[in-house]
Chain A
Amino acid sequence: QQPVQSPQAVILREGEDAVINCSSSKALYSVHWYRQKHGEAPVFLMILLKGGEQKGHEKISASFNEKKQQSSLYLTASQLSYSGTYFCGTGGHGGTYNQGGKLIFGQGTELSVKP
């Protein structure tokens, strides 16, 4: 039931782009993306909802393919501050809103941006 993230790790140079994927075996209502730096709490980046609604940041975008239960996070023109571990959390397993706030997280993707 845990979503699978790929790649597990990626190293970038400043200014390069990256894509992180999240795949679930269950129908979903929502996909939540977070970034966590070492020793800190996860920070909210983006939420994608069934039906296509998307909320998030300017320089970070994401897509959600409901039929395939897959989401991708796009980081463009990466900056040093983008370094950290990215987690996707899936919610509403079964595809409905009324499943409460339980999120199941992937194993994380470690992203390192070098100067």
Chain B
Amino acid sequence: KAGVTQTPRYLIKTRGQQVTLSCSPISGHRSVSWYQQTPGQGLQFLFEYFSETQRNKGNFPGRFSGRQFSNSRSEMNVSTLELGDSALYLCASSLGTGSGETQYFGPGTRLLVL
């Protein structure tokens, strides 16, 4: 079974631009969570989507948004990019949305904002 896939893998943007990242979960998984990883802040939860609905949201500004499609694929969007948005963005998929569900991470999208 194929794992979680994320596209693109690397991205360079300039301040003020916007970016859209994509995540395809493991086949049959209906929940997708997004995390931001930086050396300073570590792994931080952005949001979770299940059945096309946002289930949970972390403490990030409104510039960060996401959505999920009927095939469980998910996208996240960051508008008006700032230098501090440079990070590894990871998505993780799980079968369901309970707190006891195992989450499997994709390879991540490394975003550099100049």
**Residue positions of A touching B, CB distance < 8 A:** 2, 29-30, 32, 34, 40-44, 47, 49, 53, 55, 87, 89, 91-92, 96-108
**Residue positions of B touching A, CB distance < 8 A:** 31, 33, 35, 42-45, 48, 50, 55-56, 58, 90, 92, 94, 97-108
| 23 examples of A-B residue contacts, CB within 8 angstroms | A2-B42, A30-B100, A41-B90, A42-B90, A43-B105, A44-B103, A44-B105, A47-B100, A91-B99, A92-B100, A96-B99, A97-B99, A100-B50, A100-B55, A100-B56, A100-B98, A101-B56, A101-B92, A101-B97, A102-B45, A102-B56, A103-B33, A108-B42
* Cβ-defined contact, A101 with B103, below 8 A: yes
Instruction: Count how many pairs of residues, one from A and one from B, have CB atoms less than 8 Å apart in the complex.
Output: 81
Contact residues in A for B99 (Cβ distance below 8 Å)? 29-30, 91-92, 96-101
* Cβ-defined contact, B100 with A29, below 8 A: yes
Min distance, Cβ A3 to any Cβ of chain B, angstroms: 11
**What DSSP secondary structure best describes chain A's contact surface?**
loop
Once A44-B102, A91-B99 are accepted as A-B contacts, the answer to whether A101 and B55 lie under 8 Å apart by CB is yes
* Cβ-defined contact, A100 with B45, below 8 A: no
Q: A89 to B50: give the CA distance in the assembly, Å.
A: 20
